[in-house]
Amino acid sequence: MNVLLQADPATLSRLRRELPGSWHDLPLVGAAACEIEDAAELERLTRDHPDLTVFPDEEVSLPPTPVSLRPALNVAAPTVRAGELWSQGFKGKGVAVAVIDTGISRHQDFGNRILAFHDVLGGKSEPYDDHGHGTHVAGIVGGNGSDSNGRHTGIAPECGLVAIKAFNSQGKSRTSDVIRAIQWAVENKDRHNIRVLNLSASGMAQLSHQHDPMARAARAAWDRGITVVVAAGNDGPDPQTIGSPAHSPVVLTVGASNDRGTVRRDDDRVADLSSRGPTPVDGLDKPDVVAPGVGITAADNARSGYVTKNGTSMAAPMVAGLAALLLTARPQATPDQLKHAVVSSAEKLPRGGGVHDQGAGLVDAVQALEKLPAPA
């Protein structure tokens, strides 16, 4: 039985000596992950250590991202007005985005901008992606389109990429693995200048964000200066389908819009698959914003080529890349300032539904930059 144990450091230290088998310290959330034999062992632990809180180390899955036949990243980037920031020289240079996913392949579109690779699952040092989701997400964040003559350029084509593999070849992970990935990003933030973290995955939001371990880890990263961008989930259009840690009130939670293959905004909709609020348990307004997530073409997990997919997994890295652009222009901006700029400048889609469908609306790079304080 895989569990997360939360207690004071002294209790966790005693338990580490007491329990055999694998053990992963999670100081970011004051916990540890381990395996216990059975329910009887669990009962003994809670009886002998009354200050101990036990959470199941639950499975976390990448949402399904159906392959689409209609490529549109060349439409999506103009839809969020990224190109207008490029023309001002803001392309993400000097800013690193951490992508917690299935890994990353050395695709032509990344050049030499893969700054670091950390494999939570297997400990390998050379970048790889045995699923493809992570490479595609990274391509949306920061592919430079060199393998398509610029057609399929990501949002921040000069940003640095830090890939943290926490999901296996089946797109599966555990809560503890995701927390370990977030923890590594926090520990290596200054070394690689990680300013943005993208998580295009979700678990079941069964606990309040105040107690949910992944939400607490995301909050801890935010408090340490990393803007955390999370996919809302692909369980729409039913209400109360926002996942974890997207249900955290702190993180930037992104739903998926459908740009319908045009740069015009007046025909955009919220994608049916995009998870809706309010959040389970807490009843908070989510998502915060939406970004294009239908027919998004980006790097395939080969050294060249592209694949087109749909989902909030594709919408979140649009916003992560946008955050990198904004940080290029305003490097002193805090996560709170970035979130306020992105949310307050979003444009309500006239056919996008209410706040629990589209949040504040479709992101706008140009308007978001205007909301940030000018450099001193």
Angle CA 331–332–337, to nearest 5: 105
Tokens of 217: 């880890």
Q: Among the options 49, 107, 118, 133, which is catalytic?
A: 133
Rounded CA separation 95/308 (Å):
26
Token pair 């400990």 is found at 123
Please indicate whether residue 101 is annotated as part of the active site. yes
110 to 36, 142, 296, 319, 338: CA distances (angstroms): 42, 7, 17, 18, 25
Rounded CA separation 30/54 (Å):
12
Tokens of 276: 């809706």
Point out which residues pair with 114 in neighbouring strands. Answer: 161
DSSP 344: H
Q: Among the options 49, 57, 101, 212, which is catalytic?
A: 101
Please indicate whether residue 57 is annotated as part of the active site. no
For residue 344, with 0-12 CB atoms within 10 Å meaning exposed, 13-18 middle and 19 or more buried, which class applies?
Answer: exposed
Going by C-alpha positions, the residue among 83, 71, 132 that lies closest to residue 103 is 132
Rg of the chain in Å (alpha carbons)? 20
Report phi then psi at 46, rounded to 5: -70, -30
Residues with Cβ within 8 Å of residue 336, at least 6 apart in sequence: none
Angle CA 291–164–242, to nearest 5: 40
Q: Among the options 202, 248, 274, 313, which is catalytic?
A: 313
Going by C-alpha positions, the residue among 128, 79, 32, 99 that lies closest to residue 256 is 79
DSSP 86: H
Tokens of 363: 């992101």
Please indicate whether residue 313 is annotated as part of the active site. yes
Cβ(273)–Cβ(357) below 8 Å = no
Exposure of 276 in the CB half-sphere (CA atoms within 13 A): 15
Q: Catalogue the active-site residues.
A: 101, 133, 313
